Amino acid sequence: LPVELLAEMMQLLDWKDILRLRQLCRRLDTASRERSVWLSIFLPYSAVLPRLFWLEKPLAMHSSAELEKVIVRW
């Protein structure tokens, strides 16, 4: 499957499951690093609990790795 489709499917998973999938193969690793994956996890939580996910700069300026770090750290 294309990386874009894998990333879209990952948007339905919990962040812990995404990190587990990443370990299975390079293609899943690549898909798990797509910004859309981490944004889909970040946005619902930040709407409900904005103080937990406080960002130092605008959301649009955060990379996939930075969003992942914020989510995993929480």
Express each pLDDT in 20-73 by its tens digit.
999 999 999 999 999 999 999 998 877 776 666 677 888 899 999 999 998 888
Cβ proximity of 10 and 18 under 8 Å:
yes
Cβ proximity of 38 and 68 under 8 Å:
yes
Alpha helical stretches, state H, 3-63: 3-10, 15-22, 26-32, 35-48
Q: What's the pLDDT score for residue 4?
A: 96
Expressed as residue numbers, the domain containing 65 is 3-73
Q: For the purposes of burial, counting CB atoms within 10 Å of the CB of 70, is it exposed (0-12), middle (13-18) or buried (19 or more)?
A: buried
Q: What's the pLDDT score for residue 50?
A: 62
- Domain count of the fold of the chain: 1
| Residue showing tokens 């690093």 | 33
Among the listed residues 59, 58, 54, 56, the one whose alpha carbon sits nearest the alpha carbon of residue 74: 54
